[in-house]
C-alpha cells in the first residue's frame, strides 16, 4: 500500500510526533519499508494498538492522550494520486486484486478514509487485504508470502506481487510468488501494463505522463 498506492510523508510524520507529542525517538523507529522497535512490533502484531499508544505516551510530553498518538501517526499517509485510484477501480473489474501490506490498526483507519475519499474504497476494489498486524507476520518473510498464496488458493504463477521495496520483492520471488519492483513516483499503470501484457491499463494523467 504505502509507497505504491499511497504516497508517504515520512518526515511529516516524524515532525508530527515531535510537535504533537514531544516524542523524539521517532527518528530511530520510522522507516519507509521496514519499521523498527515498537513500530515494528505494532506492525508484526506483537503489540496491540493500545499497548503501542501507552509506550509512546510514556515518553511523550505531559498531558498527551492516546488520540494524539493516532493524529501524529496519520501524518505518514499523504494521499493517493487520482490516476492510481482510477486504475484500481478499472482493474478490479477484470482482475482479482489483493492488498499486501506491512501495516497497523492505527494507520489503517486513515487508509480506509483515504481510499474512500479517492473513490476506490478498499473493500470494493480488493478481494482481501492481507495486513501484517493481523497475520502476525511481516514482509519479506517467507511465512507472509506463503500464507497469502495459500489463502488466495491459486497457483503462484497466476499471481503477481508489486512492491516499492526491493527486499520485499526479492523475498516474494524467493518464496515462489512472482514480483516486480515499483519505483515511487514512476508510472504505475505503465509498469502493470507491461508486466501483465495488457496495454489497456495505461492511464492518462500519470506521474510521468
- Segment holding 98, helix H or strand E: strand 98-101
Claim: this prediction has a pTM higher than 0.85: yes
Last residue of a domain, one of 58, 76, 94: 76
Residue 18 and residue 39: Cα distance in Å, rounded? 16
* Residue 110 in grid coordinates: 486513515
Q: Which domain holds residue 49?
A: 6-76
Task: Tell me, yes or no, whether 132 and 112 share the same domain.
Answer: yes
Domain count, the chain: 2
Residue 209 lies in a domain: no
What is the mean pLDDT, run by run of 10 residues, along the chain of 209 residues?
A: 95 97 94 83 97 98 98 97 97 97 97 98 97 96 96 95 96 97 96 96 71
Domain co-membership, 97 together with 197: yes
| Phi, psi for residue 180 in degrees, rounded to 5 | -130, 155
Q: CATH code at 154? A: 3.40.50.1000
Of 25, 45, 76, which one is at a domain's C-terminal end?
76
Within 10 angstroms of residue 157's Cβ, the number of other Cβ atoms is: 9
Q: Are the beta carbons of 202 and 182 closer than 8 angstroms?
A: no
Minimal CA–CA distance to 150: which of 107, 31, 142?
Answer: 142
Cell 473513490 found at = 119
List beta partners, residue 8. Answer: 77
CA dist list (Å): 134 to 42, 201, 206: 10, 31, 33
Give the span between the Cα atoms of 84 and 199, in whole angstroms.
Answer: 16
Q: Is residue 48 located within the same domain as residue 85?
A: no
Q: Strands, DSSP E only, in 17-84?
A: 77-80
- Flag whether 1 is in a domain: no
118 & 53 share domain: no
Asked if the structure places residue 40 within a domain, the reply is: yes
Report yes or no on 208 lying in a domain.
no
Amino acid at each position: 500500500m504505502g509507497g505504491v498506492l499511497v504516497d508517504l510523508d515520512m518526515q511529516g510524520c516524524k515532525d508530527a510526533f515531535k510537535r504533537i507529542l514531544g516524542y523524539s525517538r521517532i527518528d530511530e523507529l520510522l522507516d519507509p519499508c521496514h519499521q523498527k522497535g515498537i513500530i515494528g512490533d505494532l506492525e508484526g502484531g506483537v503489540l496491540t494498538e493500545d499497548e503501542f499508544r501507552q509506550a509512546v505516551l510514556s515518553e511523550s510530553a505531559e498531558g498527551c492522550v492516546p488520540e494524539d498518538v493516532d493524529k501524529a501517526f496519520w501524518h505518514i499517509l499523504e494521499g493517493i494520486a487520482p490516476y492510481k485510484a482510477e486504475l484500481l477501480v478499472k482493474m478490479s473489474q477484470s482482475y482479482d486484486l489483493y492488498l499486501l501490506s506491512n501495516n497497523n490498526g492505527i494507520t489503517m483507519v486513515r487508509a480506509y478514509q483515504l481510499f474512500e475519499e479517492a473513490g476506490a474504497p478498499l473493500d470494493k476494489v480488493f478481494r482481501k487485504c492481507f495486513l501484517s498486524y493481523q497475520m502476525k507476520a511481516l514482509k519479506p518473510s517467507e511465512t507472509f508470502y506463503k500464507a497469502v498464496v495459500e489463502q488466495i488458493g491459486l497457483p503462484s504463477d497466476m499471481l503477481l506481487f508489486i512492491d516499492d521495496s526491493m527486499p520485499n520483492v526479492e523475498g516474494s520471488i524467493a518464496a515462489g510468488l512472482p514480483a516486480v519492483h515499483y519505483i515511487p513516483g514512476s508510472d504505475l499503470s505503465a509498469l502493470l501494463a507491461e508486466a501483465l501484457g495488457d496495454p489497456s491499463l495505461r492511464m492518462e494523467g500519470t506521474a510521468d505522463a
